[in-house]
Structure 1
Amino acid sequence: MKLAAMYALFAAVATATNIGTQDAIIRMYDGPFALLLSIIAGTGTGLLVKYILDKRYIFSFQARDIAEDSRTFLLYALMGVVTTVVFWGFEFLFEFVFATKEMRYLGGVIGLAIGYFTKYELDKRYVFGSRSA
C-alpha cells in the first residue's frame, strides 16, 4: 500500500509539473502552435520528473553507468508513447468539446491518471524488470 501511495504522489507531482509547464508556456507565448508547444513541453518536464522519482523511489533502480541510465530512460520514454497518446487524446478532446483552458487541463489530468496507471505495469515488466525492488 505504501508503494501505491508513493506512486500516486509522484504521479500527482509529475502531473502538476506537466500542467504547470503548459500553463507557463501558454502565458509566455500565444502565437502559432502555442497549445501544441505547451503540451509537448509539459510532457517533457513531466516525463523527466516522473523518471527520476520512479527509478529511485518506486523501482529502487541505480544504473551502473550513464550508458545504462540512458538506455533505461529511453525505454522508459518509449513505454510512455502509448500512454502519452491517451493523455494527449483526453486533453485535445476536452479542448475540442469544451474550448476552455480549465477543461483542457482537466482532460489532461484524467488522461495522465489513466496513463500513469498503465505505465506502472509497463515499467515494472519491461523497463526495470528484475532489477527493480
Structure 2
Amino acid sequence: MTISLSPGIARRNTLESVTNTYATQGSVYIPAVHCINQTLKSCNVGLSSRSLASITDNIKNVYKGNRTEAAASLRECAAFTRDTFDALAVGHFVDALASASGVIMNGVGSTLYFANYDRERLSPHAKALYDMMHP
C-alpha cells in the first residue's frame, strides 16, 4: 500500500533535503530552518510552493555568502505574509495562523537575533565601520 503525502508535506520533505545539503558551519539560520521545518512537518503543517522557493533561495544565498542571515529571515516574512493573506482569502484559518506565526518568528529573529549574529561574523574592519554607522 502506497501512502500519498499532501503537496505541502512533500514540500517540507524537499526543504529538509535542502537544509541537509546546504548545512553551513557557523550558520544559525539554516539549522533553525531545519528545526522549525521538522517541527511543523511533525504537526502536519504544510508549506506553500512560494515559501519553499523563497526559503530554498535564501538558504542557497546564505550558504554562498551572498545574503546575510538577517536578510534571509526578513525575506521569509514577506513570503509568509503573502501565504497568510492567501489562506485567509480561502478560509483556511489554521494555515493562516501557521503562516502568521512564521511572519512573527522571522520578523523578530531577523531584527533582534540574526542582525547581531551577522554583525559578529564581520571582519574587524567591517565591524568597526558598521559600529560607526550604528551608534
TM range (shorter): 0.3 to 0.5
Between the two structures, name the one with larger relative contact order (CA 8 Å, sep ≥ 6). 1
**Larger Rg computed on CA atoms:** 2
TM-score (norm 1): 0.34
TM-score (norm 2): 0.34
